[in-house]
Amino acid sequence: MISTNDLKTGITVEFDNGIWSVVEFLHVKPGKGAAFVRTKLKNVETGNVMEKTFRAGEKLARAILDKRDMQYLYKSDEDFIFMDNETYDQVTLSKDQIGEGVKYLKENMTISILKHKERIIGIDLPNFVELEVVDTPPGEKGNTATGGTKPATTESGAVVNVPFFVNNGDVIRVDTRTNSYLDRV
């Protein structure tokens, strides 16, 4: 158990039939009345964000997450196969378990898998990935002065808006948190 007075950014707690990570917190001590803690919590499994106010000193169950580095091997039908880097055990995950991160997976990529009480609850992708552009319309000459963008499909299936000078075959760096183009590699 953890007291709401001890909440910090990044701590995970079990609350309201889910596992929540503390995104923001603020201890408030009004001049009149009891102190309280105002928090912004993010559900680790679904990504939902909730604002919740707790009384100071209220107890919450601490959620201990096991983070294991695994290598993505291949896709088999609708399943994705990963290998534990330490034990070499293979784990099969569905698209639902991976979520939106499925569009950034590339063979031999190392990711972190989050477990809670031996149950896989999600994956933690690297913040930036390098992907090859496989399909994008050609940039028109003279069209680059405005700084516009065009859609580009990458080797993993992610569609990212890129500048006009990016062509098929270019390798680009993509921010997986915002699905945005960073630069050409």
Can you give the pLDDT of all 185 residues of the chain as single tens digits? 888 888 888 889 998 888 998 999 999 898 888 899 999 998 887 778 899 999 988 999 998 888 889 999 998 888 899 999 899 999 888 888 787 888 888 889 999 888 888 888 878 888 899 999 999 888 766 655 567 788 999 998 889 999 888 889 999 999 988 889 999 88
Query: What is the per-residue pLDDT for 120?
Result: 84
Q: Are residues 13 and 57 in the same domain?
A: yes
Query: What is the per-residue pLDDT for 103?
Result: 87
pTM (two decimals): 0.70
- Number of domains the chain is built from: 3
Q: CA 129, 121, 101 angle in degrees (round to 5)?
A: 25
Last residue of a domain, one of 33, 62, 91: 62
Q: Which domain holds residue 100?
A: 66-124
* Cα distance between residue 185 and residue 173, in whole Å: 7
Q: What CATH number is attached to the domain comprising 81? A: 2.40.50.140
29 and 35 in contact (C-beta within 8 Å)? Answer: yes
Last residue of a domain, one of 99, 124, 149: 124
Q: Are residues 88 and 135 in the same domain?
A: no
Contacts of 53 (CB under 8 A, 6+ apart): 36, 37, 38, 39
Q: Are residues 118 and 71 in the same domain?
A: yes
* Cα distance between residue 123 and residue 128, in whole Å: 15
Last residue of a domain, one of 25, 47, 62: 62
Q: Are residues 70 and 82 in the same domain?
A: yes
Q: What CATH number is attached to the domain comprising 56? A: 2.30.30.30
Q: Are residues 100 and 56 in the same domain?
A: no
67 and 112 in contact (C-beta within 8 Å)? Answer: yes
